[in-house]
Structure 1
Amino acid sequence: MRSAYAEVFRVAVPLMISTGMFSLVLFVDRTLLFQHEPAEMGAAMAAGNLFWVSICVFVGIASMTGAIASQYVGAGRPSRIGRMLWQSVWFSLATMPLFLVLGYNAETLFKWTQQAPALIPLESIYFQILMWGGAGEVLQTALSGFFSGTHRTRTIAIVSVISGVINLLLDYILIFGIDPAWWGGEGPRLWEMGIAGAGIASVLSFWFKPVCFAAILLRPQFRETYGIVRGLCFDQRMMWRLIYFGFPAGLMYVTEAGAFSVIVLMIGRLGDVPLQATTMAINFNMIAFIPLVGMSIAASVLVGQHLVRSGPEPAIRCVRAALTVAWAYSAAWALAYWFCAGTLISLYAMNQSDSTIPADAALALQTAETLLGFVAIYVLLDATQLILAGALRGAGDTWFVLLAGLTVSLATLAFGVFFEPDWEPALWGTSLPEGVEGVATTMSESVAVTLRWWWIVLTCWVISLAGAMSARYLQGSWKRMRMV
């Protein structure tokens, strides 16, 4: 097992750094938006989820580049990787027109989901801007698959960290703008764009990574060994293989992201405060969850390579090692969510005094503390389903992962919608009824009950996914699967 742990750490740690940087960018991005205008943070959460739902089927297909490349390495045929990589590139670039059409219809999409009217303009502009970077995100997923599949994960980490730093700097500048007083000037801030600035910063970082990966791939050592230049053509058979194994993986991303987005949108109907509180809690959940995506990718790559090269036993040892590390990491976060919720949530208002925080934002901060208790309950099981799903995808068992995720998600959402408690709309941070002074600073009981209900649904969904992936992994049919 010691060698399995060493192999997992060697492949997974750079990937965890890479995905961890992404989670840090998301956290800082939404925290800055909360400090600029609290409603922008909730809008960014809802629009960002819809953006991911819109692109994730294509990201899922492109992500199979790493698993297939690892099996070519295990089979001793690295020269085939270049041609397969080019199929991912053509596929990625072909998604651009679709994403721009979706962005053009952003306002219609958010009206259709019955979002709070005040949030729709913010959600629409953020979504429209993000869609310009959709193809860049798919392309960077495809190109990074080469580096993960050939165990060059350090390259992914370095590029991701540089991209993340650029994103954070642009976030601060474009959200708050540049104050002329910094150089002794006068006048209003320059380039203060709020949520639109956050979207522009994200798009630039989306395209920065594929440009870097492409420049590295053109080095002579890669061109010759992996056939990067020789593979510059369209190969129908390879394209079909990529789509056959990647499409269910992409649909699984859609299923999970879609179910999560539906839950968030259902919460968004309750008003701005419940959505803000949910965004705060989910932001901290992302800090625990997203780095484990790197561990899941490592499990997928190692399982795929070992099944072809040396059989299922080394693959099983790598999965056990990945699970152990993931559980230890998640357990530390679970304890923090349970015992330090107030301290964590207070980070959102660290640059503001109590007197400057709007009443609705203060209520959102208070509500978010209770929601972190739900995250503490399911975070270990979320790690379990993520690692095991990655292992199954690495073996090629992508259709089961899809069907299980689809069944669990539909059943959970149907249950949530059917048994949703009745609730009355509430206005946040507005004047109270005539004759009463002050502003609304409490959440109605019906809204509070419904908010808790959807968080119970979210928790049950994660538990069910973990159960389905565990059952399939223990059943063992994945051990006989191959993709090359």
Structure 2
Amino acid sequence: MDAIVDKYHTDQERTSYSRLLKVAIPMVIQGLMFSVMLLVDRIFVGNYDVMYLAAASTAGGLATAFGFFTGETVGFANNIVAQYYGAKRKNMLAAPVWAGLFLASIFAVLLVITLPLTQKIFEFSFFGHEEALIKAEQVYFRYIILMYAVMLFQRALLSYFIGIGQTYKMMIVMVAGNLSNILFDWLLIFGVGPFPEMGIAGAGLASLISAVVSLLIAIWFFVDAKRVQEDMLRPRFQPEIIKRLFLLGLPAGLQVGLEMLGFTVMQMFLGKISTAALAASAVSFGLQNIVYSPTTSVANAGAILIGQERGALRMHNFRLILRKVMIIGSVYSLLMLFIMWRFPEQLITIFDSGDSADPELLAETKHIARYFLLITGLWLVPDVFFNTYMQTLKALGDSRFISITMIIMVFALITLPAVFLSGIDAAWPKYVIYGMTIIYVIILWIIFGLRYRSGKWKDNHVID
């Protein structure tokens, strides 16, 4: 079986809903499972102690900023694979994977050896977090950083399958890991049976175990791929491919990592206002992840197809692929907007076990979270267009422009308002801080839409 056989003989077939959904559905399932895992993690931790819910949000967010920076840099390999696949250059499909493994090794070491320094961020006095909250944040942060160090190798191995459109293998890897995370969350947070009761440390350890499970399955798929890609297991550290992956992947990693960092800083300053505001943002972001994960996955699937079409020099197919991605995303987002606006109390209640150690804190958290959810609903639809254009530009090698733009926007619209408004002693600043996300998404939708229409990405070369 030849991995380069073109199953689609006409442009209509190549831009069809069926082709898009074949790539997208496994990614949607994987994304939903990851979001469910995060949600269950927050629910278990929140039911154990509301303060731990706040700690998991900030510590998990900061660790994810580092993890996404390194992971997206390594993961850019799937865009290179996609273009080689579209160009029918089978002899080059393994090279980006090995380049990814090389960078994964370097980044994993850096994440681990800098842990003693990075975990001290939570001690910074201007965040104003209580000592008990800081200790909980640091414990969870350590485990999640180790999880992301392991996941780097998984990202590199899966880049081959994502690039050639076999996203169902990525789905299997991630679903197995996420299910193991949910199981060990329950066992280790609460101490079920012979397992120790570890609280927030148990949540972190469960995440690390799930990363190891996912990596083992990814290795198995990688070894099995030798049947169709003869040179897959032959190490190919080509300096030119490594350099290209680093130069194109680093801006993509910076963009995702710094965006996540900006939102985490925003949450940490919400924690300066009150623990309830921080916990409410954890509730809202936890629900938000599961709500908009499918639209992100469909946008990523569209970007894979566009990468393949770019490699085949069929740029005229971009418009139809983009239109179908946006139609699917918009219909779904409007449905989710209705649910979030119609049933906010019911959604928030899933974080409440009914026996909280601090009923007053829980009541205030639920009150604030209701309004945060209403705000989230407002940016769901514009986020579809922003995400679709962003993922497309990234697949076409325009990651430097994306990175610069988003770093500026995160700083100006997310971080700075949080820094200045958190010092105001009033009820409204937390809602304005969170509400800036609406302006952020709309402005980026406009900027990236105009960038795509300008055609400046045509000068970028992801492959030689």
Q: Answer whether TM exceeds 0.5 for this pair.
A: yes
Matched, 1:288 2:291: yes
Write out per-residue CA displacement over residues 98-150 of structure 1, whole angstroms, 9 at most, x where no aligned residue.
Answer: 21233223542101252412310000000012222222122222222111101
**Is the CA contact (8 Å cut-off) linking 2:112 and 2:149 kept in structure 1?**
no
Matched, 1:99 2:111: yes
Question: What amino acid is the match of 1:227?
Answer: D
Write out per-residue CA displacement over residues 217-238 of structure 1, whole angstroms, 9 at most, x where no aligned residue.
Answer: 112x5355252123x0422111
Counterpart mapping for 1:401-440 below 5 A:
401-413=402-414, 415-417=416-418, 420=421, 422-424=423-425
Q: What's the offset of the Cα at 1:475?
A: 2.0
* 1:114 paired residue number: 127
Among candidates 222, 232, 253, match of residue 228 of structure 1: 232
* 1:449 paired residue number: 428
Residue 419 to residue 266, structure 1, CA distance change in 2 (3 Å): closer
Residue 363 to residue 179, structure 1, CA distance change in 2 (3 Å): farther
TM-score w.r.t. the length of structure 1 is: 0.88
Aligned equivalents of 1:179, 1:136: Cα separation in 2: 28
Aligned equivalents of 1:422, 1:392: Cα separation in 2: 38
Aligned equivalents of 2:266, 2:155: Cα separation in 1: 26
**Is the CA contact (8 Å cut-off) linking 1:302 and 1:394 kept in structure 2?**
no
Write out per-residue CA displacement over residues 154-173 of structure 1, whole angstroms, 9 at most, x where no aligned residue.
Answer: 11112221111111000000
Matched, 1:30 2:42: yes
Q: What's the offset of the Cα at 1:419?
A: 5.2
Question: What amino acid is the match of 2:253?
Answer: G
Aligned residues: 449
* 1:368 paired residue number: 369
Residue 308 to residue 480, structure 1, CA distance change in 2 (3 Å): farther
* 2:321 paired residue number: 318
* 1:352 paired residue number: 354
Aligned equivalents of 2:403, 2:314: Cα separation in 1: 24
Matched, 1:209 2:214: yes
Write out per-residue CA displacement over residues 35-68 of structure 1, whole angstroms, 9 at most, x where no aligned residue.
Answer: 0011001100000010011222211111111111
Aligned equivalents of 1:176, 1:201: Cα separation in 2: 12
Unaligned ranges ≥5, structure 2 = 1-11
Write out per-residue CA displacement over residues 360-390 of structure 1, whole angstroms, 9 at most, x where no aligned residue.
Answer: 1122112211111100111111222112111
Among candidates 2, 11, 25, match of residue 13 of structure 1: 25
SS in 2 for 1:116: coil
Aligned equivalents of 2:23, 2:171: Cα separation in 1: 11
* 2:182 paired residue number: 168
Larger radius of gyration: 1
- C-alpha root-mean-square deviation of aligned residues, in Å? 2.0
TM-score w.r.t. the length of structure 2 is: 0.92
Write out per-residue CA displacement over residues 370-418 of structure 1, whole angstroms, 9 at most, x where no aligned residue.
Answer: 1111001111112221121111111111111112212222222465157
In terms of mean alpha carbon deviation, does 415-424 or 107-116 score higher? 415-424
Matched, 1:195 2:174: no
Aligned equivalents of 1:142, 1:244: Cα separation in 2: 16
Aligned equivalents of 2:357, 2:416: Cα separation in 1: 41
Residue 155 to residue 107, structure 1, CA distance change in 2 (3 Å): closer
**Is the CA contact (8 Å cut-off) linking 1:333 and 1:376 kept in structure 2?**
yes
Among candidates 240, 249, 256, match of residue 253 of structure 1: 256
Matched, 1:178 2:192: yes
* 1:397 paired residue number: 398
**Is the CA contact (8 Å cut-off) linking 1:85 and 1:143 kept in structure 2?**
yes
**Is the CA contact (8 Å cut-off) linking 1:175 and 1:198 kept in structure 2?**
yes
**Is the CA contact (8 Å cut-off) linking 2:52 and 2:200 kept in structure 1?**
yes
* 2:138 paired residue number: 124
SS in 1 for 2:165: coil
Question: What amino acid is the match of 1:174?
Answer: L
**Is the CA contact (8 Å cut-off) linking 1:63 and 1:142 kept in structure 2?**
yes
SS in 2 for 1:164: helix
Matched, 1:78 2:90: yes
Question: What amino acid is the match of 1:155?
Answer: K
**Is the CA contact (8 Å cut-off) linking 2:272 and 2:422 kept in structure 1?**
no
Aligned equivalents of 1:375, 1:303: Cα separation in 2: 29
* 1:157 paired residue number: 171
**Is the CA contact (8 Å cut-off) linking 2:421 and 2:429 kept in structure 1?**
yes
Matched, 1:478 2:457: yes
**Is the CA contact (8 Å cut-off) linking 2:379 and 2:437 kept in structure 1?**
no
Residue 459 to residue 305, structure 1, CA distance change in 2 (3 Å): same
Question: What amino acid is the match of 1:206?
Answer: A
**Is the CA contact (8 Å cut-off) linking 1:110 and 1:123 kept in structure 2?**
yes
Q: What's the offset of the Cα at 1:310?
A: 4.3
**Is the CA contact (8 Å cut-off) linking 2:54 and 2:275 kept in structure 1?**
yes
Aligned equivalents of 1:461, 1:423: Cα separation in 2: 22
SS in 2 for 1:119: helix
Aligned equivalents of 1:193, 1:414: Cα separation in 2: 33
**Is the CA contact (8 Å cut-off) linking 2:76 and 2:245 kept in structure 1?**
yes
Q: What's the offset of the Cα at 1:479?
A: 4.4
Counterpart mapping for 1:134-145 below 5 A:
134-145=148-159
**Is the CA contact (8 Å cut-off) linking 1:59 and 1:138 kept in structure 2?**
yes
Q: What's the offset of the Cα at 1:177?
A: 0.6
Aligned equivalents of 1:261, 1:415: Cα separation in 2: 13
Write out per-residue CA displacement over residues 293-331 of structure 1, whole angstroms, 9 at most, x where no aligned residue.
Answer: 322321221111112214212122111111111111111
* 1:440 paired residue number: none
SS in 2 for 1:348: coil
Write out per-residue CA displacement over residues 259-303 of structure 1, whole angstroms, 9 at most, x where no aligned residue.
Answer: 211211111111211111111111111112233332232122111
Residue 391 to residue 209, structure 1, CA distance change in 2 (3 Å): same
In terms of mean alpha carbon deviation, does 203-212 or 288-297 score higher? 288-297
Q: What's the offset of the Cα at 1:480?
A: 5.3
